[in-house]
A and B are shown apart, each in its own frame.
Chain A
Amino acid sequence: MSRLGNYLRDRTGLGTQAATISGGASFAYVFGWVLLFLLLTECVTGAALAAFYSPSTASAWASVAYIQDQASWGWLVRGLHHHGGGAIAIVSGLHLVQTAVFGAYKKPRELTWWIGLLLMGLILAWAVTGYVLRWDQAGYWANKVEVGIAAGTPIVGDKIRALALGGNEYGNLTLTRFYMLHVIALPALVALGVVAHLVLARRHGSTPLKTTTTTGPRWPDQTLRNALAMALVFGALLGYVVSQHGVELAAPADPSQSFDARPLWYFRWLYELRVLAGSFEKLAALAAPAVVGGILVALPIFDRGEDRSIRARRKFVIGTLALLGVIAALTLSSFIRDADNDEREDSMEKAEARALHARSLAAINGVPATGALDVFKTAPMWKARTLFEQLCKGCHTDGKDRLGPLIEPGHGDRAWLRAFLADPSGTAYWGHTLLAKDTAAMAPVELPAGDRDDLVEWLHAQSGANDVIPAKRDRGQTIFDKACDSCHSRQDGTAGTSAPSLFGLGSRDYYTSFIGNPKAATHMGDDKSEMPAFQKDLSLLDRDALAEYLVWLRTATKQDVDAIGPL
């Protein structure tokens, strides 16, 4: 081991000089190292995510959902990557506060300070470029706002927008551009900045807390403190990520469905400032970062002199802390504002339900190659439920405008048939139709309970259901022939004398035919039906889909309907 060590020392020159720290090792010096560690964590987790991510509008969301819900430990890596960014924002903030309060930016370390500020800006930009990549509602709409603000820059605004979006509108080029920035350009720039920052920090050494002549070794005394701090920060990060099961993923980006987006939490102070600025929002959003950045850049220029004691630099320390205090207060205020907003809470709950629905469909069915939003169409009977929503709901579900029989779970089952026979003009049945007011309306069927149940069994058997009791059905047919046959028919394609044929009642073919033309002689007959014929507007496939849905609804419960999720 020592021969290898000697070899490496000899060839690389590393470790030949025992590095020392003026004043000895201290936990005060760990921040830079913790930041470096977090940045490396971002690189490592980012590399793994990049092995799964697909930067295209059709598949970006799908690939992130795959990482989150299907790839082993994907949620953990994604969570570490996302919240690691937040940890970097916190630790770099602390690093900055410490440097500012102790005047460590003073000569000869001004350049280190400025490079540090540049790094912070780059890291914030890094986070912005990452947020949009998931192409979900949250990232998409937050990015729209961010690009909108940047587009308000005087003179070059339009150019910035076009370059950011890769053209005139959000699309594939937007994602490939932000992806390039996020995984190539910004990592390279940050790496250069970090190297420069480190070289300068090494050259000038740590700023001693007190003026002292004693020194202590860097290795292992300081290194252990660095490692302990890293372990502490990473432990907290890991704990948070596990408690949150990674990071949320909203529903796929949907330009037609607005979303009350918020920027990443470390930009919330700017968001709040915009809200407060009212009609000056764009100015505030552009000017505030420039003002804060300008003040921080100017600190070493105005705060000169040898004395680094806080007492001697009171106005600078108080000024800097006040500035950061305002930023913290604005951040807090923004979160409080949202917490008090019930309307937002409601819309967020709905958005979350939609997100979970999309993710569960993606996990079960995969996301159609045609685009992430089409994942909703893979839901059971999506087509039929959409058509029902558009064409049937107005007349057939509860509401003041209902004109037809109620269609809800259990429609057409034995209990429904029994209740219908007892009161055909009841409110759930023909009650809302013109037919109910007609003298030709069907009268209640009065039969002994046993006979009635046999008739119900026969009617139920028409649907082709597989739970029919044959003996009851056959008795029911005899009763039909006695009690119903004078008006109805039970022959295929043959109308009754004054009422519909009940052949196949409640079967898929029956519904397909009925929806196509309720006015047909075998169904309601021209004069008795208010329901329009859909054979022109709906294809046979669409009608069949609706019929399938109605058949399913017969045995479904309210819970079943809820379980197949929203549209």
Chain B
Amino acid sequence: MADREPDRRGFLKLATCAVGGGVGLVVVAPVLKLLDDPSGKITVTTPTEPIDLGAIDRFQIGAEPTKVEVIAPLVKDAWTAARNVVLGGAWIRRTSPEKIEVFSAVCPHLGCGVGWEGKQFGCPCHNSKFAVNGDVVTGPSKRGLDALPVQIKDGRLRVVWVSYKLDTDAKVLG
């Protein structure tokens, strides 16, 4: 008997760890699965179709860039479906009767809001400067302002709202 005692205790210890660990895993697994639910899921929808920014007559040829809010008619955000949600700001510059450039106001460096400073665009957070055509004048931003896909239809300006990856050399979909 005395020789067997360590065996028995060893078995009991192993069994305890196995049972305890097993139960622990079964408790934790669904919790981790639930916490991981949002990864890889589109939890906030952004419309893929162009969003109306108003009549093109609003924007005068050669004028200073104008800022507009890009408003989605419907955004599904996890459980909520909200109407008229502001997605972000955009800078509009009309260079000719048919040509309008729309820059996302999201700084390509780290995502702050880019403003117009009279002669050029500037980001208040890290002081990147961009020329009126969107090119970088001084860093730290690695690329110029992100131009958004533009569509002009029936005299109205429409733009597709796209979020690009931040702090990369080239525009990459976010």
Contact = CB atoms under 8 A, between A and B. Distances in A.
B35 A48 contact: yes
A41 interface: yes
Interface residues of B, number: 27
B26 to A, nearest CB: 7
B81 A76 contact: no
B15 interface: yes
Interface in A52-85: 52, 54, 59, 62-63, 65-67, 70-74, 76-77, 80
A47 interface: yes
Contacts of B34: 48-49, 51-52, 67, 71-74, 76-77
Given A48-B34, A48-B35, A74-B37, A227 B81 contact: no
A41 B36 CA distance: 18
B174 interface: no
A422 B16 CA distance: 84
B156 interface: no
Interface stretch (A363-371, A433-441, A541-549): A363-371
Interface in B69-106: 76-83
Nearest to A362: B79
A58 B19 CA distance: 43
B16 A223 contact: yes
Contacts of B22: 231
B15 A230 contact: no
A62 B79 contact: yes
A44 B20 contact: no
Contact of A80 (B15, B30, B76, B79): B30
Interface in A105-119: none
Interface in B40-74: none
B125 interface: no
Contacts of B78: 63, 66
Contacts of B28: 44
A231 B82 contact: no
Contacts of B19: 224, 227-228, 230-231
B119 interface: no
Nearest to A366: B81
B37 A369 contact: no
A62 to B, nearest CB: 4
B170 interface: no
A45 interface: yes
The interface centre, meaning the residue of B27, B28, B37, B82 with most chain A CB atoms within 10 A of its CB, is B27
Nearest to B35: A48
B153 interface: no
A67 B37 CA distance: 10
Contacts of B36: 72
B23 interface: yes
Contact of A366 (B9, B31, B37, B80): B80
Contacts of A227: 15-16, 19-20, 23
A44 B27 contact: yes
A478 interface: no
Interface string A227-240: 11011001000100
Contact of B27 (A41, A74, A228): A41
Contacts of B20: 223, 227, 230
Contact of A234 (B13, B27, B37, B77): B27
Given A44-B31, A47-B31, A234 B23 contact: yes
A367 B81 contact: yes
B15 A59 contact: no
A221 interface: yes
A230 B12 CA distance: 16
Contact of B31 (A48, A238, A369): A48
A364 to B, nearest CB: 10
B4 interface: no
B interface secondary structure, majority:
helix
A66 B79 contact: yes
Contacts of A365: 81
Contacts of A66: 78-79
B16 to A, nearest CB: 4
B80 A231 contact: no
Contacts of A366: 76-77, 79-81
B136 to A, nearest CB: 38
Nearest to A78: B34
Contacts of A494: none
B82 to A, nearest CB: 4
A220 interface: yes
A172 interface: no
A378 interface: yes
A224 B31 contact: no
Contact of A45 (B31, B80, B81, B83): B31
A369 B83 contact: yes
A37 B31 CA distance: 15
The interface centre, meaning the residue of A63, A224, A234 with most chain B CB atoms within 10 A of its CB, is A224
Interface in A33-52: 37, 41, 44-45, 47-49, 51-52
A71 B76 CA distance: 15
Contacts of A54: 79
A122 B71 CA distance: 48
A238 B25 CA distance: 13
Contacts of A47: 31
B31 A378 contact: no
A139 B139 CA distance: 56
Contact of B23 (A63, A221, A230): A230
Given A48-B31, A77-B34, A220 B80 contact: no
B35 A51 contact: yes
Given A63-B78, A238-B26, A369-B80, A220 B33 contact: no
A474 to B, nearest CB: 37
Contacts of A63: 78-79
5 contacts: A59-B80, A72-B36, A231-B22, A234-B26, A366-B76
Interface of A: 37, 41, 44-45, 47-49, 51-52, 54, 59, 62-63, 65-67, 70-74, 76-77, 80, 219-221, 223-224, 227-228, 230-231, 234, 238, 362, 365-369, 378
Q: What 9 A-B pairs are tightest by C-beta distance, nearest first?
A: A366-B81, A62-B79, A369-B82, A66-B79, A227-B19, A220-B12, A224-B16, A227-B20, A48-B31
